[in-house]
Chains A and B, each alone.
Chain A
Amino acid sequence: MTAATTRAAAGPPAVAGDVLVVEGLVHRYGDLVAVDDVSFRIAPGETFGLLGPNGAGKTTTISMVAGLVPAHEGAVTVTGRSMARDPVAAKAHLGLVPQELAIYPELTARENLTFFGRLQRMRGKELDRRVAEVLELIGLEERAKDLTKEYSGGMKRRLNIGVGLLHRPALLILDEPTVGVDPQSRNAILESVEALAAEGVAVLYTTHYMEEAERLCDRIAVVDAGRLQAEGTRDELVRLTGGVDHVRLSGAGDIGAAAAALRSLPTVVEVAADRSALTLTVRDAARAVAHLVTAATAAGMSLDGVEVSRPDLESVFLHLTGKALRD
């Protein structure tokens, strides 16, 4: 029985320790350091997110993890196999879902899956069975015999993911898999990732969509300028912001006087004013908001709206890098 057969019959192989260990990765493009001393680990069944804007170094990082580009420094180990010393063995345990639709337009969905399965050393009935399972999983069994160039964008995206998980990898790497996907397909993709993690697959997920990272990822690394700025669970990251909330008071009247009055309150950390609103950074907004409204109104501002927002990953990114996630 081949290793692939074992995996097909029993799901991802049992891994004693972490499925992926990344230590001190560095990659340079000339003088530009694209990835600078990046380290993280992913355990079986864990979904690890790399969150950062375009150009942050996420794709270069996963390219090194997948063995597509060499690490100038550092090491990648997949299920205990070194990507540098034994890339063939390490790659046998990972599945890559690139950001591009990495499928062949002149082949059908079944032919695409069968082709990539054979390259993963799957054979015969085991391969046929697994192809059928994946076609059902991604909802393409009805269109399995159609050339993929005739598929919609969402169908191609689902097949793109299907190829990555065909051989039941211990580590699934998804590089921004929902870019350009309609909301319905996006939800289906996210559900698939959650199901895979539940089956014990370790998932490395890159995105610049904060909502996806919050929904999917057990741990998140915030990446900017090639470096991991912070890493932890969502709550751990949010605590880095100091536990402050944001309150937006919009309206008219004497906004300048209202800003001055609010700055004097002990719960207010920061006040930013524009012509029609005040944005406040405050501690424990739930308890302070009534005082804030009273003080602003007393100072001559007539309010027509109040918004309270708790800190999220966007806030974390802003706090860590000084810029918005989608900049």
Chain B
Amino acid sequence: MRQLLVMTAADLRQRLRDRTVLIFGLLVPLGLMLVFNLVFGGSDDVELRPVVVAVSAPAGDAFAAVVLDAVESVDAVDVTVTRGDPVEVAARTRSGDADLGVAVPQGFTAALQAGGSTEVDITEGGEAGLETDIVVSVVDGVVARLHAASVAARAGAVAGLPADRLEGLAARAAEGPDITLVPGAAADEQLSPAGAVVAGQAGLFLLFTVGFGVLGLLAEREQGTLDRLRSMPIRPGLVVAAKALAGFVLGVLATAVLLVAGALLFDVGFGSPAGVAVLVVVAVAAATSLTFVVVRVARTAEQANVAQSILALVLGVAGGAFFPLSATGPVGVLLDLNPVAALIRGLGITAGGGGLTDLAGPVTTLLGFALVATLLSGLVPDRGAAR
């Protein structure tokens, strides 16, 4: 154990002295986080502007009044309603005085109750956007509910229900479903854009940072120190274990620093520290295991560095380090098994308030990845040693 610590400490000292780890493990990802946040920052803070909606509703028409009330009651957007006849509504919309025109036709209620066809004219102005889309969807929903109420009333009449029961049925249908929308588990897996950038870059550069530790094994082989170490009275496997431990320590430290710095710089919260710590540790284990496969396959340190960079970029892009990527079927499963994706998914869960028990999925994925990569590194012939 003492010899393991001696070797790991010497390795860490050298890695820190050559500054490569500091540059590629911390400065570059922090710089990229800054750039990505400048480019994509603020996209989650959409400010909805006030809109003017010109409405034409026939006087005394009960269902038209419901539509008008719905427009005036839209919560998400600050709506100013101006009343007028259909011609005025169209004119205001064309002139830009109104962003949206809603014209409820004469005989709207009667037409719905009779089961006939009727149309609510909706005209979007030149400045229409997300705000008017919201109002249109509200109108659309109200009209659909009124139609459903009419259908229910007619069906009741056909079935011979008494008038008072018919009124209740129609009223109930017009109210819409008795469902309360509560933000739940699905929303918990969503990171803010800034959070996604920080998590993605931390996941991507974790693969590079771990490489600086583990790939040192090939450098030792090339500079002859590996032979010297192996001629010393140490247990077989100690050199490899020291490299793994050095890579692991570097990975954990760099990722922790990136997440903390990213959180502070970009005002991102990742939730439970314990959950985040578990995620970081298993993600680093997965990255370290993968690097050992690279060490076995590569013949030289240069080859290993190139292979590691390619792997990091492929896994980073596929894992959503730069932008979200999704797919269905086998490709979707493959994307889910990506360690970078699993780390980002896990950080989304903790950011949404999830605890250790909620992390079973990503943690299992990362541990499984580490196990498979470790087994694979044991099976792959050591091409470098065969030189």
Q: Please, which residues of chain A bring their CB within 8 A of the CB of B6?
A: 115, 118-119
Q: Please, which residues of chain B bring their CB within 8 A of the CB of A255?
A: none
Output the nearest chain B residue to A59 by Cβ-Cβ distance.
Answer: B227
A154 to B87, CA, bound (A): 98
Mask, A97-132, CB within 8 Å of B = 1, is 011111111110001000110111100000000000
Mask, B1-24, CB within 8 Å of A = 1, is 011001100100110011000000
**Interface pair A106/B14, CB less than 8 Å apart:** yes
Say if the beta carbon of A66 comes within 8 Å of chain B.
yes
Q: How far is the CB of B2 from chain A (nearest CB, A)?
A: 8
Say if the beta carbon of B230 comes within 8 Å of chain A.
yes
Which of A20-28, A85-93, A200-208, A317-325 has 4 or more CB atoms under 8 Å from chain B?
A: A85-93
Q: Please, which residues of chain B bring their CB within 8 A of the CB of A87?
A: 236
Mask, B230-268, CB within 8 Å of A = 1, is 111111100000000000000000000000000000000
Say if the beta carbon of A296 comes within 8 Å of chain B.
no
Mask, B301-325, CB within 8 Å of A = 1, is 0000000000000000000000000
A94 to B228, CA, bound (A): 11
Candidate in B227, B229, B231 with the most chain A CB atoms within 10 angstroms: B231
Say if the beta carbon of B224 comes within 8 Å of chain A.
yes
A68 to B226, CA, bound (A): 10
Q: Please, which residues of chain A bring their CB within 8 A of the CB of B17?
A: 106, 147
Say if the beta carbon of A139 comes within 8 Å of chain B.
no
Q: Please, which residues of chain A bring their CB within 8 A of the CB of B233?
A: 88-89, 91-92, 119-121
**Interface pair A67/B3, CB less than 8 Å apart:** no
Say if the beta carbon of A163 comes within 8 Å of chain B.
yes
Say if the beta carbon of A216 comes within 8 Å of chain B.
no
Say if the beta carbon of B118 comes within 8 Å of chain A.
no
A164 to B6, CA, bound (A): 18
Q: Please, which residues of chain B bring their CB within 8 A of the CB of A120?
A: 232-233
**Interface pair B234/A68, CB less than 8 Å apart:** no
**Interface pair B224/A88, CB less than 8 Å apart:** no
Q: A96-B228, A101-B223, A103-B225 are in contact. Are A119 and B3 (CB under 8 A)?
A: yes
**Interface pair A104/B231, CB less than 8 Å apart:** no
What range describes how many residues of B lie at the interface?
20 to 34
Q: How far is the CB of B83 from chain A (nearest CB, A)?
A: 80
**Interface pair A102/B227, CB less than 8 Å apart:** yes
In the complex, how many residues of chain A place their beta carbon closer than 8 angstroms to a beta carbon of chain B?
A: 31
A163 to B225, CA, bound (A): 11
Taking a contact as CB atoms closer than 8 A, the residue among B224, B228, B235, B236 that contacts A116 in the complex is B228
Q: A66-B231, A89-B233, A119-B232 are in contact. Are A99 and B224 (CB under 8 A)?
A: yes
**Interface pair A102/B225, CB less than 8 Å apart:** yes
**Interface pair A104/B224, CB less than 8 Å apart:** no
Taking a contact as CB atoms closer than 8 A, the residue among B18, B227, B234 that contacts A119 in the complex is B234
A27 to B234, CA, bound (A): 23
Q: A92-B233, A100-B223 are in contact. Are A107 and B228 (CB under 8 A)?
A: no
**Interface pair A67/B234, CB less than 8 Å apart:** no
Mask, B196-234, CB within 8 Å of A = 1, is 000000000000000000000000000111011111111
A92 to B231, CA, bound (A): 9
Q: How far is the CB of B48 from chain A (nearest CB, A)?
A: 57
**Interface pair B225/A104, CB less than 8 Å apart:** yes
Q: Please, which residues of chain B bring their CB within 8 A of the CB of A96?
A: 227-228, 231
Q: How far is the CB of B17 from chain A (nearest CB, A)?
A: 5
A147 to B17, CA, bound (A): 10
A166 to B255, CA, bound (A): 39
Q: Please, which residues of chain B bring their CB within 8 A of the CB of A173?
A: 231
A116 to B10, CA, bound (A): 10
Q: Please, which residues of chain B bring their CB within 8 A of the CB of A111?
A: 10, 13
A68 to B233, CA, bound (A): 12
**Interface pair A107/B10, CB less than 8 Å apart:** yes
A314 to B230, CA, bound (A): 34
For chain B, residues 328 to 349, give those with C-beta under 8 angstroms from any C-beta of chain A: none
Output the nearest chain B residue to A93 by Cβ-Cβ distance.
Answer: B233
Q: Please, which residues of chain B bring their CB within 8 A of the CB of A94?
A: 231
**Interface pair A88/B3, CB less than 8 Å apart:** no
Q: Using A102-B227, A105-B223, A120-B232 as known contacts, list a sample of 18 further A-B pairs with CB atoms less than 8 Å apart, ordered by residue number in A.
A: A66-B230, A68-B231, A88-B234, A91-B233, A96-B228, A100-B227, A101-B223, A101-B224, A103-B225, A104-B14, A106-B17, A111-B10, A111-B13, A116-B228, A119-B7, A119-B232, A121-B233, A147-B17
Binding site for A on B (CB under 8 A): 2-3, 6-7, 10, 13-14, 17-18, 223-225, 227-236
Binding site for B on A (CB under 8 A): 63, 66-68, 87-89, 91-92, 94, 96, 98-107, 111, 115-116, 118-121, 147, 163, 173
